[in-house]
Every structure is written in structure tokens, then in C-alpha cells.
Amino acid sequence: MNEITEPTRILFEGFQLQTIYLFYAFGYAAIAVFIYGCYVQIRKYRRGQPDPSWNNFVTRFGSMVVTMLTHRTIKRRDSAAGKAHALIFFGFILLFIGTATITLEYDIIEPLFGVTFWKGSFYLWFSLILDVAGLAFIAGLLYMMYRRKWMHLPKLDYKRVDREPGDPDYDRSEYRREDWAFLWTLIIISVTGFVLEATRLVWLSETASVWDVRMWSPVGAFLAMIMKGIGFTPEAAGVFRTGLWWFHGMLALAFIALIPYTKVKHIFTASASLMFRDEMAGRRLPMVPEDQVEAGYKKIDDLTWKSLLHLDACTKCGRCQDACPANAVGAPLSPRDVILSLREFANKALTKKELPEEAELDIHGKDVGQVFMETLWSCRTCLACVEICPVAVEHVPIIVQMRRQLVEQGDMDPILQKTLGTIHKSGNSFGESKRKRAKWAQDLPFEIKDARKEPVDVLWFVGDYASFDPRNQVVTRSFAKLLNQAGVNFGLLFEAEMNSGNDVRRVGEEGLYEFLATSNIGTLQSCDFKSIVTTDPHSFNTIRNEYPDFGGEFEIQHYTTLVKELFEQGKLKLNKQNNKRVTFHDPCHLGRYNKGYDAPREVIKLLGYDLVEMDRNRDNSFCCGAGGGRIWIPDPVGIEKPSANRMREAGAIEGLEVFIVSCPKDLTMFEDALKTSGFEGQFVVRELIELINDCVEYDDSIIETQETAEHVAV
């Protein structure tokens, strides 16, 4: 052994040349297994359909790096897990950089150029940083173990909500075993690394350039002192070090080799998923390519390569399941289960050298690995899962693509099928004559312009529920009066307006959606107006985000934004304020879909109301249960409705007087839930327009009609 004259560490200290060659042989074998595994995964993705997400690569990469470094998606709503993951992540990164630095010197720079740098002050600081990183790494891993063993979090129980006990794929205990194997492997690698450091210090304790600088490796030094205290001699430490070195090294190489085949691959797939994320996922659904024979996803290789990547990116954290309103009320849906089922299916079918027969690629059905029809129809397409996913998995677009196939095959609730036929025939979901769409305006003390016949500044796209539902018609008349009072030059499409198609599209009826969208776009383009306003967040979303794909680009506002502007411009004035205690429900299509959180709250505060937020608000708002066409599908008997669940949350607010909504479907769903959930008489459900209407100063000419509208509302 050569005398060490300055602080450093000789990688293969005390090993014979043949032993070093053997280690490199194992190392290259591990790398070969890793590369082959990567090849199999890439081949799997290539078997998916094309996806245009390679655009803006530099911007996407930069966003991904920022997201990973800040941990902003992981810390949300679970800061403890986010902090622990940050310890693991940054600890791992530093340890990886350390290993790469050693490799750079030993295998590249020194053999080629005879230059060494892993010594002296550089080595000492290197040793200190890696000790701290290793300690942080272990601390993060221990917390994750604690979460799984003692916190008993429902989201970490992988039992499937869409299966029954006894079904072969119900328990998913293999995922729990994989989690523990992953954690224990990393813990053992880390701990043995520290112990290996300690044994080297004891072994070379008589060498001043090693022992005198031991505190630059504080964890190793602490363990070395313990070892010396219990009687470890340098000779014994040398023998022990040899065996531990091989154990530690082989375990680390096995870990590297198994990355593409295990949970560890999320290090790469999660990063790629974040890089290729679509900021409009769910808000803007993809069109059906002209050359595609059947709509949607029928077989596993119908998924795009990006969707297949998303499947592998899922870390099974369960946040989507926690946020899912369908899951919360006991419906047979966990967004995570859908993703994991498809992942298992893809790994089974698409990693083979040759693809199985077409029938074996079908992802719909009741067999092991397939996704049930009942599971897909339970989704409200509220985007709660997409919004909270820390690795940007796009659950809703995948579910809707699978629904498209169900619609193509006619696998849907008969009532839903009838409703879709009604919409196709009459242009609305109520089956009413088109001539009745603006009947609600007949008793108004002023005429509303026909935007098809004369120019207007603001075209009001009313929507089905606001046009035909008697309770919502009261709100619609009130909004018309507000616009008239503010002097807004507005008009309607009257019978030319058709269902916007937002929910039709999320049901999966893409053909009907395209018919509705192109019809509305054609009508809108024939009119002379500056902007669109709507009281329906569902219509707002599709006109704003999806009509442009069909050639219809329009400036559109939700009414809350317009009313806020009218107050700020002095065109609407208050004749009183109200100090009642209220809470506000964020509609999914205004809130999560389009980030419209502030305008409604600013209007509520302007009116003087005492706004108390529910625990689930803004991007974490719950769903009324109407989205994704569920308003047209009867809920199963015996399970709670999402709207009733929301009523219970509101009912827990002490002194609550008014539950405020700003969506016609919300008004319908929550007024029904108020009656059935036992809170009728404790508080009322009102549309924000009605509250504005209560407080606005009106001209005398419409006060009488206003009072009549209020009487009908009561």
C-alpha cells in the first residue's frame, strides 16, 4: 500500500488488479442491463401513436428544471412529503454528482491526461458535502418509511376501489412490496456507504493524512469512533471493509441495472412527463385525426407515446385519488387505478418483442388489467386529478379518449344515449323547441337585440340550463337587467344558439361535439360583436379553449369578470350592502379549468358579504357532480352524491347563511342537495347574480319587474 501524503481516497485501495477487473466487469454488465431496459421502454413508447408535444423543447425543458428544483408540484397540499422528497431528491443528486466526479477522474481524465483533482481541499469539501447529502437522503427515506408504516394514509393503500375483495387484481400488494424494496435498498446502500467510510478511517487510523482530517467526513468519523470504542482494530477493519465494499458495490450496481424495470425509473419518466406536460390538458381535448378509423382509445397501442410515458411517470402517491370527487363519494373510480391498470397492461403487451394479437390489446372490459365501463363513466372530468398530480399525468384526456370508444360502441347509460340524441335533434339537452330558447326574455321591460340582425358590443351566449331551466331563468332575467342597467349594448343569438358542446365532448361524443361547435362558430362568425359573455362556465371553457381548433377565435368573458369591470367603471352602483355570512363554491370550469378565482370573490366582497372559505376552495374546490355529462346520468342508489358531500362541508361553517354559486348547473345540483342533505332552513343556495341583483341600484322603470323576479326566486 502506497503512503498517502495528502487528503484523498484511493478508490480501489488495497485491491489486486484482478479484483478491480472483476468489479468493472460487473459494472459494465449492470450498464448493459440498464441500457437494454431503456431500449425496451423506448420501444414501448414508440408503439404508441404520434403526439405533437416536441414543440418548444427549450422552454419545456427549462420549465421542467424549475419545477424539479423548486419541488412546487410535490409540496402542494402535502408539505411534509414535499420536504422529505426534497431531502431524497437533492441528496441523491449530490451523491450522484459525487459518484460521477470520481468516475470522471478515475476512468477518463487520469488515464487520458494524467491529471488528478480528487485530493487536498477539493477532496475535503467534497467529503463534507457528500456526508451531509447522505444524511439528508437517509432522513428523507426514513420519513417516507414512517408514512407508509405508521401514518396509515388511505392514499397509500393500493386496494382498488373498482374491484371486489378476492378479485385477482384487487389487493395490489406487489406495489407495497416494491415500495418497501425501493426504500430499503436505498437505505442499505446509504448506510453501508457511511459504514464503509468509517471502516476505512479505522483501517487507516495510523495514517495522519487520513485520521487527522476525519471530521471532514463527520458521519463516517462518528461511526469510526464508535467502532474504535468497541474494540475494532485497523486489521479487523481492513478485513471487514473488503466484504462490505463488495456488498455495497454490488447492491449499487444492481440498483442501477434495475432502474428501467422498477419504480426507480420514475426518476426519468416523471421528469419527462413534466417536460412534455400540456398546460391545456383537459381544458382543450384533442381532435380525432382524419385518418383515424375509430374514435378514442380501444387498444393499448391507440394511446399516444406521451400517454404511455404518463403511465410510467405515475409514482402511486394517491393525490389524484384524494382529490377525486367520484372517489370521495364511493364511486368505482380512482384516477390512479386507471393509470396503473393501463401501465400494467402496457408493460405486459407492449414490451414484448412482437405485439400480441389485436384482441389481446383491448383495454376495455372486465378481465384482469382492463378498465371497467362503470369506472370510466364515474368520472366528472373536473380536472382535480390533473391539477394536483405532481408529475403532470393527464388522467382526464385519457379517460375521455376511452369514453369515445365506449360511445362508438354504444356502451353507455340509456338515459345518456337518449340525451345525446335529444341534443342532436333539438340543439339543447332539454328537448325544447329552438324557438323557446329566449322565451325567458319575454316579460322583461326592455327589448334584447338580436345579434344576428344588428351589431352589438357584447354577445351573450346563454347556454342550455340558463335558457330552459325555470329556476335558472330567474337568474338569467336578473343578469339581463344588470346588463341593461349598466347600459351594455348586448344581444342574443336567440334560436340560433345551440348547446356549446363542452359536456358532450367530455362524454366522448366527438362527432356530435364537432357538429355543435361548427354550427355555433358559423353563427357567431356571421354576427357583428366585440366580445362574448356567458353565465355558463362550461360554455365559457369550450368557446375559449376549444373553438379555436375549429376556426372560431373569440374574446369571451365569464359574467363575474364583466360585472367586476362594470362596477369599477361606475356603470353599476350599489344601493345597499349586505353583511350576511356566505361561502363561495368555485365551479370547476371557471376555477380549475380557467383560473377564474378572483373576480367572483372581489364582487362578493364589494357587496359587503362576510366571505368564509370552505376547506376545499380555489384549485382544490370540490365538484358539484354535474361535469363530464354526469348531470345526464343517474347516480347509483346507495352512494352519496358529490353535491351532498359539498353541502356537508358548507354546513360545518358556523353561522353560514348563503352558499353562493356562479354556474347554472351548480345552482341545480346544490339546490337539490340542500333539500336532501338535511341543511334546508339552515342556509340557502343563491346564484351570485341574484346577490348582485339584491344590492344594485336600479332605475325606477324596472323595479317592479325586479321585485317580481325576486318573488319567483324565493
Rounded to an integer, the average pLDDT of 374-398 is 97
For 469-485, what is each residue's pLDDT tens digit? 999 999 999 999 999 99
Q: Say what the pLDDT of residue 709 is.
A: 46
Average pLDDT, the chain: 94
Q: Which residue has the higher pLDDT, 15 or 470?
A: 470
Q: What percent of the chain has pLDDT over 90?
A: 87
Confidence of residue 702 (pLDDT cuts 50, 70, 90): low
Three-state DSSP string of 457-513: CEEECCCHHHHHCHHHHHHHHHHHHHHHHCCCCEEECHHHCCCCCHHHHHHCCHHHH
> Which residues have CB under 8 Å from 246's CB, separation 6+?
none
Confidence of residue 10 (pLDDT cuts 50, 70, 90): confident
What are the phi and psi torsion angles at 584 (to 5°)? -125, 135
What's the average model confidence in pLDDT over 513-540? 98
Percent share of the chain, pLDDT over 70: 97
pLDDT at 169: 87
Q: Taking the CB of residue 16, how many other CB atoms lie within 10 A of it?
A: 9
Report the alpha-carbon distance of residue 302 to residue 50 in Å, rounded: 10
Rg, Å, the chain Cα set: 31
Is residue 706 over pLDDT 70?
Answer: no
Q: Is the pTM of this model over 0.85?
A: yes
- Arithmetic mean of pLDDT, 701-714: 48
pLDDT of residue 625: 96
The burial of 190, by beta-carbon neighbours within 10 Å (0-12 exposed, 13-18 middle, 19 or more buried), is given as buried
Q: Is the pLDDT score of 4 beyond 60?
A: no
d(CA 124, CA 138): 21
Burial of 6 (0-12, 13-18, 19+ CB in 10 A): exposed
* pLDDT in the model for residue 1: 43
- From CA 509, how far away is CA 515, in angstroms rounded? 10
Reported confidence tier of residue 714, pLDDT bands at 50, 70, 90: very low
Is the Cβ–Cβ distance between 74 and 81 less than 8 Å? Answer: yes
pLDDT band at 215; cut points 50, 70, 90: very high
* Distance from C-alpha of 646 to C-alpha of 655, rounded to nearest angstrom: 17
616-638 average pLDDT score: 95
- Dist. CA 627–CA 665, nearest whole Å: 9
Number of CB atoms found within 10 A of residue 529's CB: 18
Cβ neighbours for 470, distance < 8 A, ≥ 6 positions apart: none
- The DSSP secondary structure of 231-270, one letter per residue, reads T--HHHHHHHHHHHHHHHHHHHHHHHHHGGGSGGGHHHHH
Helix (H) or strand (E) holding 684: strand 684-687
